[in-house]
Structure 1
Amino acid sequence: MKILREYVWDTVRKNKRTSLAIIIALFLMTTLMSCVCGFFYTMWTDAITLSKWENGDWHGELFDITYGKDLEHIENYASVSAVMIKGNWEVARLDETGKRSYLITRGANNEYWESMSEKNIIIEGQRPRSENEIALSKQYFDNHPEINIGDTLTLPVGKRILDGKIRVETEGFDEDETFRQTGTKTYKIVGKMDMTTSSSVPAYTGLGYLDENSIQPEDEITVYLRFDPMRKTYEELPALAASIGYEPDEYGKYNLKFNGDLLSKYAIFSNEQLSSMNQLSALAFPLMILIVAIMLVGLFVLVIHNAFALSANEKLSQLGTLAGIGASPRQIKSAVISEALILTIFPLPLGVISGWILDMKLFQLINTNNDIGRTAPDIVLTFGLPAILPAILLSLLTVWLSALIPARKIAKLLPVEALKQDGRIKKKRLRKSRITSRLGITGELAANAVSARKNSYRTATISLCLSFLLLTGFLYIISTQKAAQNIYQSGLDKIRHIQFNISDGRTPDMEVLEKIKQIPGITKTVIFDKLPCATWITEQDASDDIETYFGGYDEIVSRKKYSPIERDGKFRISTTVIGLEEDSFIDYCNELSIDPKPYLEDSSKAIFYNYTEDPDVSTRKKSVLRELLNLRLGQELTFTEKAYDEDTGDFTFNLTAGLLAEKLPNIDLRLSRFTLAAIMPMDHVLEIGASCSSKRQSTANSVNTLLLTDNNGGISYPLIQKVSAEVENLLTRYYGTGDYLITDLAMMQEMDESEIKVMNLIVAFLTGLLAVIGLSNVWASISGNLRQRRKEFGMLKSAGLSPRQFWKMLFLEGITLGLKPLLLSIPFQVIILTLFLYINEVTLLEYLPYAPFAAILGYTVLILLAIISAYFIGGQRIQKDNIITAVKDDTI
């Protein structure tokens, strides 16, 4: 109908004030939609970028021995989209003595260099592009300052020999090994890599280039793969392994590795991961996104619907006239929706661009404050179609739904009803309030005004309630997670302020550890090592707890989730032997009120910790323990270093139970489920390790140290930094880079503060946008309603309403309208807070110190000030009105 089209364009053109208000609302909506879509898309793409930067762009690895003859089959496998290959290790002898007497290298094909993380750690030069080129670790350059990029090395290559047998190139140090030369090779150094390795393998490392045509059928290669589709990775990689002859291990699984970090970014998980996840914890983040999404959509629909409802209400008489001359309900509805879509044309592109600009500024702030702990380049705003398209579609959908609500209501009205309503409030009997009646006539007038217009204020109230809920919900989610993190990690502050690990493959230098103990500021030192092993038991050796709560070890094995396996009627129980340095062992014995002397003198005597956490009933807060074995004092158990079938060593040893302890040493040791623990002096564990294979010996020689500083006045981060620096200086004098790793609370605190600063930026940013959206809707509602009440106020002033009473009335209206959405949101806030306290296993009393009182109070004050300001500005206009003019005014 041509007249309707003309009416729509004429309405948009003539009602400039109303159209401008709607355009502003649409602009704010599309801006926030665009900003939110761009923000979440960028954070997702950055998480993927960071994962690829640090771990490489691969989905799965054939971790068992793979031969060159299998390469053709792998490359032609239907679902394989890319193959990254590393070749055989090659050993070259260096003309020097010391902890590193070899150079071990291997080549990588072009796809590997393009896809994996090694290219990102080349700090000088370039990556190798031919077979004689090599990139070396920076350790080699540090110890050979005369070597530069572009130099060549001609070295003898061959095999490491021990007892007449060829050793694996990456095996640990053994002073009796020799080198058998098989030839020479010239390397051209083209790059320096920012990486360090432990001297437990007595070699510098390098990575070269691998020409796939040079791979021989018998060559052992390492293969990383990408699959298409990626979602089938957990199914396709085992199938590929089976097709090339891999044999399953004792758990029925192939020796494979998955890039779980990258796959999880695409919501791809294995069946084992899904079954082991705590359902509520796993749902915490998706639940947060769902709640935020529902609130945002609801908020936007209400905001825009309110603007369209006010506009349509102002034109009821005109629409009624059109209906009276023959316009159908469908055409009336189409006219209202068409006006909405026309008004969207201008603010939609501006809103998308504004959202992009806001995101750009936000990520600039984040990058400025996100330097600590981040290895990858700065976050790059990825504002492409995956962000723009959802923003546009959601914006158009919101506009359509928002306009549809008033359009359907108006289309149902008869022409006479539309002309009669004319935007005025229907008269009805109002209930008196005991509270407002105490405030006099102005209090009753204010309450009656809000109550009489509750329909027109309803969308504003609900939108403000949703805005407040969105903010508080986000704050509750963040604060409960922070509370849980601090509560469950706070105990670590009492265990260690500084921690370091020494792993150079050699017997620990006790002289160095004694010197560290004497550093001023250190009040307590705990030094320990660990040796993994296993013991085989029968069903009769199971404790009563295992039978009662789990149905025996047969039932545990059948779950296929834990380490025990069954073979020939016996069960293999994983065991960790913990070795405590003498002073640390004595302190532990004193805690148990026992004499340490028998254990120090007898190398076969140990303290057993015979408990495991019940996975069925234990929670993050409460650990329920069950006895593992039916042990008795003086009982002797036989252990083997062959903890898994893949282990090559077969050394066995016996330990006697001198005590069944009820607690482990305070060393933050997390044992896996159904794992037995034996605690001994560290010297005895080192003796056992010396008889084991090189792999187990290297593990036993790896020493961990926990240090506490003087904290009488609380934790002193400057003191921790000072002591940590002295410890590192001492370690540097005795060990090379890569042989030790040191961390401290001050370093962790600095990273936490950086994360908090970034999170506060994001919260402040979102809070500001939500405040603008929610308050702009309320402001528009108040301004529109005050304009419609000019005649009412004129009549009240003519009846004797003084300016003081007028302002008191508006102030009380503002307070009533401002507090209403906040009070309405309280039950929903309680539900959200209770849910996330339950998910994070935090009590209300534990949470209170972390509750965001300041942010909530500040936002509440902001809402009240904005509403009162809207009444103040509208009231000033009304005060200027002439009473006679106002009473005669029929403008709706």
Structure 2
Amino acid sequence: MKILREYVWDTLRQNKRSGVIIMIALFLMTSLMSCFCGLVYTMWTDAVVLEKWHNGDWHGELFDDTPGKALEQIENYASVSAVLIKGPWEIAKLPDTTDIQTGNAAPATMKNAKRRFYLISRGANEEYWNSMPEKYSITEGRIPFSEREIVLSKQYFEDHPEAQVGDTLTLPIGRRTYNGQPCMDTDIFHEGESFQETGTKTYTIVGVMDATTSSAVPAYTGMTGLDEASIQADDLITVYLRFKPMRSTYRELPALAKAIGYEPDEYGEYTLRYNTGLLSTYGIFAPTAKGLPIHLSSLTVPLMFLVFTAFLVGVFVLVIHNAFVMSVNEKLIQLGTLAGVGATPKQIKKTVQYEALLLAAIPLPLGILAGWFLNFKLFQLINASNDLGREAPDIVVTFGLPAILPAVLLSLLTAWLSARIPAKKAAKMLPIEILKQEGSLDKRRKKRKKERKLFHFPGITGELAANAVSARSRSYRMATISLCMSFLLLTIFQYIITIQDANDNIFRTDPSETGHIFLSISDGRTPDMEALQQLKTVSGVTKSLINNSLPCAVWIDQTGVAEDINAYLGGMEQIIAKKKYSPIERDGKYRIQSVIFGLEKDSFQDYCEKLGISPQPYFDDPTKALVYNYTKDPENSTRRNVLYRELLDIYEGQKMTFTEKNADEIEGDFEFILTAEKLVDELPMETLGLSNFTLAMVMPMDHVLKLGESCCERRQNSSHVINGIFWTDSSAATPDYQAIQETNRRMDEALSSYYASGDYLLSDLAEKEEITQSAQNVINLVITFLTGFLAVIGLSNVWASISGNLRQRRQEFAMLKSVGLSPRQLWVLLLLEGLTLGLKPLLYSLPVQIAVLTAMLTLSEISLPEYLPFAPYGILIGYTCLILLAIVGAYAVGGRRLIRENIIAMIKDDTL
């Protein structure tokens, strides 16, 4: 074996040219493998960073308030690795406000009050501050370390411009009371409430938080540090948890909730919350999600990268395999001699593979560094174009062991497989066979199969071009596969992008129906009708739909279920048995979720006019409602064909009893009777967010607000939430985003004089479009980079192969010139050869393209005629032309030499 190793070292020194060729191929392969592995790892780590940045580093939350006495049991729970705690609320009264402490009323119009009355804060332990996103919202100062250090929301500094970081506040602390009863620190303001002082506390302001809250709660928010030893048994705390192992989260959190005394709701579920984004990034999914499309879609990207990795390995095995074949051919007689003096086939095979590993020693580290450099430059470009819509820091290239190790293993595997193919052939040959074949592995095949030509251009010249390309298909194999791979990568990604565009256009409701500007007002008080009227008169607004809503429920027996439910969905019992939908059964009756939409006066009139109904009876009688008695059939509907079924067996004029208690956790039990005056077949807007098996009623907003006044505080507050959709004079087909943004700005100015910051939210189509376009640009950049890298490898190999083949074919061209081939005909022959070779990757990739496109269109429920207007014709034609130009250019450079040489010189030397 020592002799064989010395032989390998000696052949490497003597065959430097073939060694350099192999090393260059190995370097290119390692560079791409390293770049690809680094790209995948960086994208994954960035996804983890984004999840932690936006949502925090936690796995599950005990969403109900947890008593302090359970904290020790939680911390000692076997699978819990970290406990993140937010302590009980603490409220302090601010100076220079109305004297609430003595019970005097606050200003009648709270929303116009400049300053809020209280300061409410919660402590958070060190683990919470280290793991949660609140620390990133501190724009000035630092994290508080003790319970007497506080960071305050920016709203406090806006209303108290004299305040600065470093100031101290000595404030009375206590509790809010209303009608002699204590109320929650986070309750909305009650006219006539009072403040009962229980002591004083001095806070040191150590930071400013970029956070806003609704003025419905008359307090500024803040956060302090937390001493866990100060938590009392009856304190109500919020607990976030990390589990070890992480994959046990969905099993362990419900078990922990049960252990500390949580009670399940009417659906048998505990009130828990999971950090699903972070968990899914690690490949952990809820048991109920497994097997559903959401689970499969989460695996799409990993599977895509896995398939691409397999393609890369396959391509480079073919690329480097050719180089090793040349190397083995050069020393085949020497290997035969070694076999003749006693070397076993196994030793012969190991000799070639050992050479491959030695040749990989230098390209491997250089390729790893080159891959890191390419990644660094790629993400520099991505960061430069990814400012819009990204609040987190720039993407950081993470090129650690999880990126290097797969790159090294894949590179060594590729080199080993590439050398194994010719090594195995050489090892199987007998010494006498080697000598007979004059140093060529390929001559072992006595009968060579005639290679079928895929196509050729018409005429004798076209057939000659096709024959030339076919005869040298082995030397062009690697280039063809590389170009085919880059073409497939480009086309498949372009199909994904364009199918998504087609999907948005086909299935997304037109902006003329969904609106251009969207409003949400949530200040906890009765809507200011003057403000809403002002919005409708803002310049640029042409139409509006303004509504509130009141969730409720109706109880029915079996006779109240519509025939559609029994006929198509198996009855209400089958629906409940699936445990996926809202209806429940108790004492032979079914609870059906309901919602009453209240439309502002003009919106209600427009809705009635659209339906051909007189609105006046509904303004006059607060018990009359328009009833939408349809539900989507979730079991039989498709995106293309949405089926709707009648929900309840009701008739026009029927009186129905509703209750505000649509869930066991709702404290109120107010009941009211509404008359189904008219059954309608459409809602004011399809995008109102009506869930399956939910009954909908539509009434004037004033009547819904009146109903809300009789409900519990939670329901009353929900009826005060206003949502608005506004249309501008922008064209529906091509929205004018600049005009939409300008109208949005004017609406914001109008609202700011009625509502405080944090009380409303305005958004528009332009913002969504900009964020979507920014994300699309990043994806396009990555695709262009990978496609370009594969194209460079393929085109460089094509150029080298064409140049070498043309030099070796000088005698062939001399023969053609001797029988009368003119220079013009020679140029035509070379041009047709170039076109034939250039079109092969496109034609070979067509079956895969057709299969992929068919599968994606089928899954998207989009027909081919619907997709064709969105197909990426320009990119595909442009890339095809680029490949053809590069290949024809290589033939043109080589052809100039052939044209200049005379026949005698070409026949004399056919090897230069």
Structure 2 counterpart of 1:231: 247
Aligned equivalent of 1:81: 81
Shift of 1:620: 2.6
- Within 2, Cα distance between the matches of 1:439 and 1:6? 56
Offset of 1:816 from its aligned partner? 1.4
Residue 774 (str. 1) matches residue 794 (str. 2): yes
Report whether the alignment pairs 1:752 with 2:776.
no
Q: CA 1:450/1:146 → structure 2, altered by over 3 Å: closer, same or farther?
A: same
User: Are the aligned partners of 1:635 and 1:657 in contact in 2 as well (CA < 8 Å)?
Assistant: yes
CA distance in 2 between counterparts of 1:628 and 1:290 reads 46
Q: 1:742 aligns with which of 762, 786, 802?
A: 762
CA shift, 1:693, in A, is 1.4
Are residues 275 and 567 of structure 1, via their aligned partners in 2, closer, same or farther at CA, if it must alter by over 3 Å?
farther
CA 1:879 to 1:141, structure 2 compared with 1: closer, same or farther past 3 Å?
A: same
Q: Does 1:693 align with 2:704?
A: no
Cα deviation, residue 361, structure 1? 1.0
- Shift in Å at residue 740 of structure 1? 0.4
Partner of 1:60: 60
AA matched with 1:485: D
For 1:235-634, list aligned pairs within 5 A.
235-274=251-290, 276-277=292-293, 281=297, 284-324=300-340, 326-419=342-435, 420=437, 422-423=439-440, 438-440=458-460, 442-634=461-653
Deviation string 1:119-141 (CA, Å, 9 cap, x unpaired) is 11011111111111111100010
**Which secondary structure state, in structure 2, belongs to the residue aligned with residue 74 of structure 1?**
helix
Q: What amino acid does structure 1 have at the position aligned with 2:130?
A: E
Spell out the pairing of 1:592-741 with structure 2 (5 A cutoff): 592-666=611-685, 668-712=687-731, 714-741=734-761
Q: Which moved more, 1:404-413 or 1:62-71?
A: 404-413
CA 1:366/1:282 → structure 2, altered by over 3 Å: closer, same or farther?
closer
> Aligned AA for 2:764?
D
Q: Give the corresponding residue for 1:839.
A: 859
Cα displacement (A) at 1:411: 2.8
Q: Which amino acid aligns with 2:756?
A: G
CA distance in 1, matches of 2:384, 2:595: 45
Change (3 A) 1:483 1:437: closer
Q: Is the 8 A contact 2:457 2:832 kept in 1?
A: no
Unaligned runs of at least 5 residues, structure 2: 99-109
1:138 aligns with 2:154: yes
The Cα shift of 1:283 comes to 5.2
Deviations 1:760-806 (A, max 9, x none): 22222122112112223434443454455455445555666555444
Q: Which amino acid aligns with 1:410?
A: A
Residue in 1 that maps onto 2:218: 202
Displacement of 1:82 in angstroms is 0.3
The 1-side partners of 2:23 and 2:137 are apart by 50
1:286 Cα deviation from its structure 2 partner = 4.3
Q: How many residues were matched structurally?
A: 891
Q: What secondary structure is seen at the aligned counterpart in 2 of 1:47?
A: helix
Deviation at 1:110, TM superposition (A): 1.1
Cα deviation per residue 1:220-275 (whole Å; 9 max; x = unaligned)? 11111000000000000001111111111111111111111111111111122225
Q: Residue 418 and residue 193 in structure 1: after superposition, are their counterparts in 2 closer, same or farther (change >3 A)?
A: same
Q: Relative to structure 2, which stretch is displaced further, 473-482 or 26-35?
A: 473-482
Q: Matched residue of 1:837: which SS?
A: helix
Pick closer, same or farther for the CA change 1:493–1:377 going to 2, 3 Å.
farther
RMSD: 2.5
How far apart, CA to CA, are the structure 2 residues paired with 1:882 and 1:330? 51
- What letter matches 2:253 in structure 1? L
Distance 2:323 2:558 in 1: 74
Shift in alpha-carbon separation, 1:704–1:874, aligned structure 2, 3 A: same
Q: Is 1:281–1:839's contact at 8 Å kept on the other side of the alignment? A: no
What letter is aligned with 2:673?
A: N
What is aligned with 2:94? Answer: 94
Cα distance in 1 for residues equivalent to 2:632 and 2:251: 31
| Structure 1 residue 167 displacement after superposition | 0.8
Stretch moving more, 388-397 or 445-454: 445-454
Whole-Å Cα distance in 1 between the matches of residues 896 and 655 of structure 2? 92
Q: CA deviation at 1:5?
A: 3.4
Q: Does structure 1 residue 9 correspond to structure 2 residue 9? A: yes
- For residues 791-837 of structure 1, the C-alpha deviation after alignment (integer angstroms, 9 at most, x for no partner) is 54455556665554444333322221221221111111011111122
- Pair 764,470 (structure 1): closer, same or farther in 2 beyond 3 Å: closer
Q: Structure 1 stretch 519-528 or stretch 417-426: which is displaced more?
A: 417-426
CA contact (8 A) 1:89 1:105 kept: yes
- Relative to 1, partners in 2 of residues 1:553 and 1:176: Cα closer, same or farther, differing over 3 Å? farther
C-alpha contact 1:303 1:774 (8 A) present in aligned 2: no
Q: Matches of 2:471 and 2:438 in 1, distance apart?
A: 15
Asked if the contact 2:456/2:836 (under 8 Å) is kept, the reply is no
What's the counterpart of residue 765 of structure 1?
Answer: 785
Match of 2:145 in 1: 129
Distance 1:301 1:434, change over 3 A: closer
Contact 2:483 2:790 (8 Å CA) reproduced: no
- Tell me which residue corresponds to 1:816: 836
Shift of 1:171: 1.5
1:579–1:685: 8 Å Cα contact kept in structure 2?
yes
d(CA) in 1 for partners of 2:136, 2:574: 47
What is the SS of the residue equivalent to 2:687?
coil
Does the CA contact (< 8 Å) of 2:605 and 2:615 recur in 1? yes
Note the C-alpha offset of 1:512. 0.9
Residue identity matched to 1:717: Y
Give me the whole-angstrom Cα distance separating, in 2, the residues matched to 1:343 and 1:872: 34
Contact 1:585 1:681 (8 Å CA) reproduced: yes
Partner residue in 2 for 1:21: 21
- 1:299–1:467 CA contact under 8 A, matched in 2: no
SS of equivalent residue, structure 2 residue 349: helix
Decide whether the 8 Å contact of 2:544 with 2:726 is kept in 1: yes
1:180 to 196, 219, 225: 196
Which runs of 5 or more structure 1 residues have no equivalent in the other structure? none
State the Cα distance separating 1:2 from its structure 2 match.
Answer: 5.0
CA distance in 1, matches of 2:456, 2:518: 64
CA distance 1:468–1:765, shift in 2 (3 Å): same
Structure 1 counterpart SS, 2:828: helix
Cα distance change of structure 1 residues 437 and 763 upon mapping to structure 2, 3 Å threshold: closer
Q: 1:473 to 1:292 in 2, by over 3 A?
A: farther
Work out the percentage of aligned pairs sharing the same amino acid. Answer: 60
Compared CA separation, residues 359 and 111, structure 1 to 2 (3 A): same
1:278 deviates by 5.3
Counterpart position of 2:45: 45
Alpha-carbon separation, structure 2, partners of 1:123 and 1:867: 56
Deviates more, 1:651-660 or 1:839-848: 839-848
CA contact (8 A) 1:302 1:460 kept: no
TM (norm. structure 1) is 0.95
Letter of the 1:367 partner, please give it.
Answer: N
Amino acid at match of 2:409: L
Distance between the aligned counterparts of 2:892 and 2:195, measured in 1? 91
**In the aligned structure 2, how far is the partner of 1:698 from the partner of 1:7?**
87
Q: For the structure 1 residues 449 and 10, does the alpha-carbon distance in structure 2 shift closer, same or farther, using more than 3 Å as the test? A: farther
